[in-house]
Structure 1
Amino acid sequence: MPKPSSPADQLNWTCLSFDQLSLGDLYDTLHVRCQVFIAEQVAFQDLDYKDQSAWHLLGRDGSGVLQSYARILPPGLAYEEPSIGRVLAMAAVRGTGAGWELMRHAMAEVEQRWPGSPIRIGAQAYLQKFYEGCGFEVVSQPYLEDGIPHLTMLYRSQGA
Structure 2
Amino acid sequence: MKLNWTLKPYPTLSLNELYALLQLRSEVFVVEQTCAFQDIDGQDQTALHLLGHTDTGELAAYTRLFDAGACYEQVSIGRVAVSPKYRRYGLGRELIRESINACNQAFGPQPIKIGAQLYLKAFYESFGFVQQGAMYLEDGIEHIYMFRP
TM-score (norm 1): 0.90
CA offset at residue 33 of structure 1? 0.4
- Larger mean Cα displacement after TM superposition, 80-89 or 92-101: 92-101
SS in 1 for 2:52: strand
SS in 2 for 1:142: strand
TM-score (norm 2): 0.97
- 1:94-116 residue CA offsets vs partner (Å, 9 max, x unmatched): 12110111111110111012222
Q: Which runs of 5+ in 2 are unaligned?
A: none
> How far apart in 2 are the matches of 1:16 and 1:46?
19
Q: Higher strand proportion, which one? A: 2
Paired position in structure 2 for 1:100: 93
- 1:41-74 residue CA offsets vs partner (Å, 9 max, x unmatched): 1111101111000000000111100000000011
Q: Please tell me the root mean square deviation across aligned C-alpha atoms, in Å.
A: 0.8
Amino acid at match of 2:5: W
The 5 A counterparts of 1:71-82 are 71-82=64-75
Q: 2:107 aligns with which of 111, 114, 139?
A: 114
Structure with larger Rg: 1
Amino acid at match of 2:31: A
SS in 1 for 2:133: coil
Paired position in structure 2 for 1:135: 128
Paired position in structure 2 for 1:149: 142
Paired position in structure 2 for 1:125: 118
Is 1:29 equivalent to 2:21 in the alignment?
yes
Amino acid at match of 1:27: Y
- Aligned length, in residue pairs: 148
- 1:108-142 residue CA offsets vs partner (Å, 9 max, x unmatched): 11101222210000000011111011110001100
> How far apart in 1 are the matches of 2:106 and 2:55?
27
Paired position in structure 1 for 2:10: 18
Amino acid at match of 1:120: K
Amino acid at match of 2:53: R
Deviation beyond 4 Å, 4+ runs, structure 1: none
CA offset at residue 79 of structure 1? 0.6
Paired position in structure 2 for 1:40: 32
> How far apart in 1 are the matches of 2:84 and 2:20?
15
> How far apart in 2 are the matches of 1:47 and 1:28?
13
